[in-house]
């Protein structure tokens, strides 16, 4: 019999969001306790820095080039490999509660199963195998948008609270750039919704309800997926007292002097300056009408304060779920894994949101594995690079199964020595986007304390250009050493490793069926 598995994800959360990783504002005692009793990964990277490709990697154990979800809006095929299906076939009860996003959200004709489940108020497919191997799916996204379960629940039970959330799309169906709060920060709003009806608490309560439905002796895999702290930043107004934006320092990565900030941005690939000036938007989720160069220090503080509040609410929700699990007598036999799909700028380089920018703001992620206490695993921090691509193999290993034949990476290690034995030497990240007529293709390797990003031909960049950072001496990645003769041998070695290690890209590229 395998062990029970609680897989917790957030959306768009930075490495330094948590107290165990140096976070100074959000109180995260429940997550910190998992870290203190488990394995903390100091260099965990996603295989893509937007939602759908990264989440597809978690589910399939494959790099983006293999599973083929090369950008948001490209649906993962229903017959794609799924660790949930592998566990289900091995006898596990399986559930995904919260944000899935393996399929496009903007889906007015309900072509995709995730949206049909919510629209039809059902939690599983009828007369067929469970969708992607999940017996039970209750789905949510940010706010009350779309047909998913949370949106339907809120409209039916608390319709007056729907308008408390930030309106993501403007009248022209573009991503809204309207500012709010005290500072006019983009996509910030004080939400009038009572905390207990906010989607964070809803995800926790629905997770507890599903667990309560299981017999005591059942093995289970539960993916509890919180939509926060992804923008828009609109937590319950009743909770904003937790972190006052006026008390928040500017992040270390924010460069206050505009001339120096622009010099740093100009040293990077050219699409960085295009986004900063508001002329080159390559990710649909970033407001096309907002110009990052207009971002003020106080707006950065307010965005960060709202984010810290959302992170605290997530931690408290996790505590409630862990308490419910303990009350069932399952705690000693439970593995908990915690991570996110990608990071967020939160003011670094004077930017917000995300996109084709392969630096630690977006690529260095929180990742914690607390093995079942009965195993007596020694807590550790792992410095070797690992990727979310290893999660599927890890879940299979916990269940007592061999590494799935579709998984492209070994399980996560228990310490640095184990990482060396398993071959965790490098981690790869890919980006491809073709949006608004703007094209960006990037390939990145992190190894030996260096992050090396190669550009392929696109709208603003050309093959042969790139970025190279020594993250040990330059942790904020403000010195691009791509053209530094003293680093050329390192760059060329990393590039050779990158091209040798990347799996071949599935061709032709799948169709993007919706913007997001």
Q: How many CB atoms lie within 10 A of CB 240?
A: 17
Q: Any bridge partners for residue 188, and if so which? A: 233
> Mind listing the pLDDT tens digit for each residue in 260-310?
999 999 999 999 999 999 999 988 888 989 999 999 999 999 999 999 999
> Mind listing the pLDDT tens digit for each residue in 233-262?
999 999 999 999 999 999 999 999 999 999
Examine the pLDDT at 126 and tell me if it is beyond 60: no
> Mind listing the pLDDT tens digit for each residue in 326-380?
999 999 999 999 999 999 999 999 999 999 999 999 999 999 999 999 999 999 9
pLDDT recorded at residue 251: 98
Answer whether 87's CB lies under 8 Å from 3's CB. Answer: no
pLDDT recorded at residue 515: 83
pLDDT tier for residue 2 given thresholds of 50, 70 and 90:
confident
pTM: 0.98
Residue where the block lists tokens 């980006």: 431
pLDDT recorded at residue 514: 86
Tokens coding 140: 């949510």
State the burial class of residue 216 (Cβ atoms within 10 Å of its Cβ: 0-12, 13-18, 19+): exposed
β 466-470/44-45 pair status: unpaired
Domains (ranges, CATH) in the chain? 4-423 (3.40.720.10)
d(CA 434, CA 416): 38
State the burial class of residue 482 (Cβ atoms within 10 Å of its Cβ: 0-12, 13-18, 19+): buried
């Amino acid at each position: 019999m395998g062990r029970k598995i609680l897989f917790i994800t957030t959306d768009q959360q930075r490495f330094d969001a948590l107290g165990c990783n140096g976070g100074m504002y959000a109180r995260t005692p429940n997550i910190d306790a998992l870290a203190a009793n488990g394995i903390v990964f100091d260099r965990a990277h996603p295989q893509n820095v937007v939602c759908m490709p990264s989440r597809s990697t978690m589910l399939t154990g494959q790099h983006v080039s293999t599973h083929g979800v090369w950008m948001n809006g490209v649906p993962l095929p229903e017959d794609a490999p799924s660790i949930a299906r592998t566990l289900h076939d091995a006898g596990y009860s399986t559930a995904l509660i919260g944000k899935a996003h393996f399929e496009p959200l903007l889906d007015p004709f309900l072509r995709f199963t995730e949206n049909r489940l919510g629209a039809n108020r059902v939690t599983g497919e009828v007369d067929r195998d469970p969708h992607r191997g999940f017996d039970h799916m209750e789905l949510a996204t940010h706010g009350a948008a779309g047909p998913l379960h949370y949106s339907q629940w809120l409209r039916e039970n608390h319709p007056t609270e729907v308008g408390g959330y930030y309106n993501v799309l403007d009248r022209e169906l573009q991503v809204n750039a309207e500012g709010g709060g005290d500072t006019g920060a983009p996509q910030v709003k004080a939400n009038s919704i009572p905390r207990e009806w906010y989607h964070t608490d809803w995800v926790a309560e629905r997770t507890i309800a599903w667990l309560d439905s299981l017999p005591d002796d059942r093995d289970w895999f539960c993916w509890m997926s919180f939509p926060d702290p992804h923008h828009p930043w609109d937590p319950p107004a009743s909770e904003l007292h937790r972190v006052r934006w006026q008390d928040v320092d500017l992040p270390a990565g924010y460069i206050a002097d505009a001339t120096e900030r622009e010099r740093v941005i100009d040293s990077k690939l050219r699409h960085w300056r295009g986004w900063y000036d508001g002329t080159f938007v390559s990710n649909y989720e970033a407001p096309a009408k907002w110009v990052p160069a207009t971002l003020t220090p106080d707006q950065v503080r307010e965005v960060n304060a709202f984010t810290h509040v959302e992170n605290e609410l997530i931690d408290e929700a996790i505590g409630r779920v862990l308490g419910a699990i303990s009350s069932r007598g399952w705690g000693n036999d439970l593995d908990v894994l915690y991570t996110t799909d990608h990071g967020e700028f939160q003011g670094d380089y004077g930017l917000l949101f995300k996109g084709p920018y392969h630096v630690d703001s977006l690529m260095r992620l929180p990742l914690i594995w607390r093995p079942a206490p009965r195993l007596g695993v020694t807590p550790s921090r792992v410095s070797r690079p690992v990727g979310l691509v290893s999660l599927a193999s890890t879940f299979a290993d916990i269940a007592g199964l061999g590494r799935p034949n579709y998984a492209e990476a070994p399980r996560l290690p228990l310490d640095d020595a184990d990482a060396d034995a398993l071959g965790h030497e490098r981690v790869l990240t890919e980006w491809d986007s073709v949006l608004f007529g703007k094209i960006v293709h990037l390939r990145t390797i992190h190894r030996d304390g260096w992050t090396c990003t190669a550009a392929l031909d696109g709208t603003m960049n050309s093959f042969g250009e790139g970025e190279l950072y020594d993250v040990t001496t330059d942790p904020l990645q403000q010195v691009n050493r791509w053209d530094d003769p003293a680093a050329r041998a390192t760059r060329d070695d990393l590039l050779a490793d990158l091209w040798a290690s990347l799996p071949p890209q599935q061709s032709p590229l799948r169709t993007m069926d919706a913007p997001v």
